[in-house]
Amino acid sequence: MDSNQTSSTTISPQKPTLNSETPELTESDKQILTWASKLELESVDLREKSSSLSREVRRCSNVLSNKFDDFKDKLIDPKEIKSIFDVLMDLSTRVIDQQKAKISSAQLDEIAKSIIELKDVKNHKEEGEKFGKIFEEITKKFTLMENSVKSVNDQLSNVTTILFSMNKSLEDLSIRQSALEELLRTQNNENEKCHQQLKKDHQDIRERLLKTGDMPFKIRKIISSNDDMLQGTTIENDSDFEIAISPGPNNEPGPMSSPNQKRRRDFRIRGSRTIIPWEEVEM
Per residue in 84-138, pLDDT (tens digit) is 778 888 888 888 777 777 666 666 667 777 777 777 777 777 777 887 888 888 8
pLDDT at 3 over 70: no
Percent pLDDT > 90 in the chain is: 2
Q: Which of the two residues, 15 and 105, has the higher pLDDT score?
A: 105
Angle between helices 217-230 and 105-210 in degrees, nearest 10? 150
Under a CB-based contact definition with an 8 Å cutoff, are residues 248 and 213 in contact? no
Mean pLDDT score of the chain, rounded to an integer?
70
Per residue in 19-30, pLDDT (tens digit) is 444 456 788 888
Under a CB-based contact definition with an 8 Å cutoff, are residues 239 and 221 in contact? no
- The predicted pLDDT at position 248 comes to 45
- The predicted pLDDT at position 199 comes to 86
DSSP string, the chain: -HHHHHHHHHHGGGS--SS--SPPP-HHHHHHHHHHHHHHHHHHHHHHHHHHHHHHHHHHHHHHHHHHHHHHHHPPPHHHHHHHHHHHHHHHHHHHHHHHHH--HHHHHHHHHHHHHHHHHHHHHHHHHHHHHHHHHHHHHHHHHHHHHHHHHHHHHHHHHHHHHHHHHHHHHHHHHHHHHHHHHHHHHHHHHHHHHHHHHHHHHHHHHHT-TT--HHHHHHHHHHHHHHTTSSBS--S-EEEE----TTS---TTS-TT--S--EEEE---B----HHHHH-
- The predicted pLDDT at position 12 comes to 41
